[in-house]
Amino acid sequence: MNKILRNSLIGVGAVAILVVAAPFIIPVDTYRGRIESAAAEATGRAFKIDGPLRVTLFPLGVRAKEVTLANVPGGRASVMVSVGDIDLSVKVLPLLTGRIALDKIVLDKPTIALEVDRAGNPNWKFGKESAGSKKKKGTLTLPSGTELSGIEVSDGRVTYDNAKTNTHRALEHVNVTVGITTADKPVTADGDMTYAGRKLTFSAYLATLQTFLGSGTTHFDIKADADLMHAAVKGIMTPDGTTTGDIKLETSNFRDLAAWYGTKLPVGGLGKLALAARIENKDKVTTFDGLKIVLDGQTMSGRLAVDSRATVPVLDGALTVDHLDLNPYLFGGRHEPSAPKENGWSKKPISVALIKEFNGRLALTTGALRVQGLHLGRTVLRIETQDGLLQTFLDQIALYGGGGKAELTIDARGTVPRFANTLQFSGVQLKPFLTDALGLSTIVGTGALNLDIAMAGASPNAILHSLSGKGAIRGANGRFKGVDLGAVARSVQTALGGATSDAASTSFHDMGASFSIGNGVMTTRDFHVAGPVVQMNGQGAIDVGNRTIAMRVRPEAGLGGYAIGVPFLITGSWDKLHYGPDVAGIVGGMMDSLKNGGSALGGLLGEGRDKNQQSGKKNVGDQLKDMFGIH
């Protein structure tokens, strides 16, 4: 046999014998202390192997049980890392050159406790104290020449406790494969985990493990997917704890996503969400620049800052919205919270609990705004909310062809929500406005409205019954639908005939009233209408809570040369009004005329046929003749 071949075979055999015998002849426990010291030197923390330590043959490596890495002094958990089994597979050939090349590290059922103390310091910053100083270098170190081929984590558990923000999270059944060679080279990770009962898959990229675990600047790219959402964030982490980058988030139901994360939102709205922004985060203060949100079919853009350090998040920012429907968020998802029913206003409870979920200031510019039944055009508003008290300042409002400004306050601090509203509108189309606001569709025209009102209640019915305050309305170039008040005036002593019908109407060029409001009832003493056929004034009450009206009207209309002045009543529900003579008023007018020596018909009809005739004082016979038309 060739001598060289023979020596080679002897060498291979010797190596094979050595490999097979190694687990039995190498005193592994003599290396326990050296391994623990090397790990402590690299991390600056106590490292212990409390279980068995042995060499494995296939693959060649080391298996350790009950391995722990100490936490920072004063940490919540006694150890930061605890692993049931660690398998380290070692490449043989690099060992011959003095290099440590770990083929694979497998961690079985590890538990990792990530913590942030009250000062904001994380426990995952590693490093040892430098000579002559108690200050840590803050850099992870590994033995020179150490190389890795990968790390596998099986069925791990990761907890996160932040004492500064009082936050706790737990990730269960963590399975991850980490692609890593050396501590100063890029790292990749792919895996899955369970959080709050839902499975989450993820992938991640880090520029280096050394800077991430130490105190350097680290580039990262993370993606996460679950049945509820897709999220991606790419950016930089700096030594001072600041994270900047680009973020994207998509979810089919933001309410369910928030609940999964541990935040319960009030009922109403917050369904499908897509978000993209440039993000900056430090100490739970997050700023979104270049923000674009599509939420519940509404598109928003602008800037938003969220300060989550307090129990209630604080918002600050400016957003532009293509259209905004507040009803789903303020009224529990019902799009017509105040729509009147046949038997009155809705008694279903409303919720303004969303106001308690955040504090801060927001500036909104909307292309269209919907609140209860009202549809507003382009609106510029400022929202300020603090501990359940919301104030909204509508600086510019496009409203039913007109415009104006308003202030709205919602106080959700008590057991029953309270509301206050002041507004000044002009050039408003009255029919659509009053229809959407009050369900009253019988007044057509262009008008102006001033209101200063307050109300309280847990349902639309309760709110409108509590209405109080004052206001005024003025209309021009319009008509009252469903009634010809001129015909009413001419026929108050007979059947109304065609005075009321769907086709009937009363035109006016001027209409208005001022009113006071108490317990849901609007009272006026200066109602007036002036038109081409009829002029009238009146007084009475409109019961907004019960949707009824009781008005006394005194018309003056040209009728065959007479100036008709017969008062009549308008009574009944808004949906079915009744018109009839004011008998008491007629008799009272006749008696006043008789007392003054005038004609009884003068009290009823005014001046008489001859407006130029001077009325002198008459005796009773003449008065009776005049009353019954006897000449």
Q: Which of 484, 455, 459, 476 is nearest to 467 (CA)?
A: 455
Q: What is the DSSP string of 460-507?
A: HHHHHHS-EEEEEEEEEEEEEEEE-HHHHHHTTTS--GGGEEEEEEEE
Q: What are the structure tokens assigned to 292, written together?
A: 């674009």
What does the pLDDT read at residue 457? 92
Domain assignment present for 566:
yes
CA 348 – CA 458 distance, rounded (Å)? 8
Domain assignment present for 222:
no
Contact, 531 vs 485, CB < 8 A?
no
Domain assignment present for 548:
yes
Please give the tally of structural domains in the chain.
1
Contact, 72 vs 79, CB < 8 A?
no
Contact, 44 vs 129, CB < 8 A?
yes
Contact, 437 vs 374, CB < 8 A?
yes
Radius of gyration of the chain, Cα coordinates, nearest whole angstrom? 42
Domain assignment present for 536:
yes
Domain assignment present for 486:
yes
CA 625 – CA 618 distance, rounded (Å)? 11
What does the pLDDT read at residue 148? 65
Contact, 152 vs 105, CB < 8 A?
yes
Looking only at the bridges linking them, the beta strands covering 111-116 and 147-148 are unpaired
Q: What are the structure tokens assigned to 347, written together?
A: 């008694």
Provide the phi-psi class of 25: left if phi over 0, else alpha when psi is between -120 and 50, else beta: alpha
Q: Exposed, middle or buried by CB within 10 Å (0-12, 13-18, 19+), for 442?
A: middle
First to last CA, the chain: 163
Domain assignment present for 330:
no
Q: What are the structure tokens assigned to 586, written together?
A: 């007629």
Domain assignment present for 594:
no
Instruction: Read off φ and ψ for residue 64, nearest 5 degrees.
Output: -125, 145
CA 415 – CA 241 distance, rounded (Å)? 42
H helices of 130-218, in order, are 209-213
Domain that holds residue 478: 473-508+527-581
Q: What are the structure tokens assigned to 168, written together?
A: 């706790």
Series of mean pLDDT values for 10-residue runs along the chain (631 residues): 52 48 54 74 80 68 80 86 79 54 76 86 68 47 60 89 83 89 81 92 86 76 92 89 90 88 73 91 89 89 90 90 78 47 72 84 84 74 91 82 85 92 84 72 80 91 92 79 58 47 69 91 90 82 90 67 63 80 58 49 42 43 38 38
Contact, 592 vs 578, CB < 8 A?
no
Q: Which amino acid, one-letter code, is at 421?
A: N
Place of tokens 């002198």: 616
The DSSP output letter for 13 is H
Instruction: Show Cβ contacts of residue 124 under 8 Å, excluding neighbours closer than 6 positions.
Output: 80, 114, 213
CA 288 – CA 278 distance, rounded (Å)? 6
Q: How far is CA 3 from the centre of its chain?
A: 85
What does the pLDDT read at residue 144? 54
Work out the angle at residue 184's Cα, subtended by the Cα atoms of residues 181 and 190, and round it to the nearest 5 degrees.
50
Q: Which amino acid, one-letter code, is at 537?
A: N
Contact, 235 vs 246, CB < 8 A?
yes
Q: What is the pTM of this model?
A: 0.60
Domain assignment present for 202:
no
Beta-ladder partners of 244: 236, 280
Q: Which amino acid, one-letter code, is at 357?
A: E
Contact, 437 vs 393, CB < 8 A?
no
CA atoms within 13 A on the CB side of 563: 11
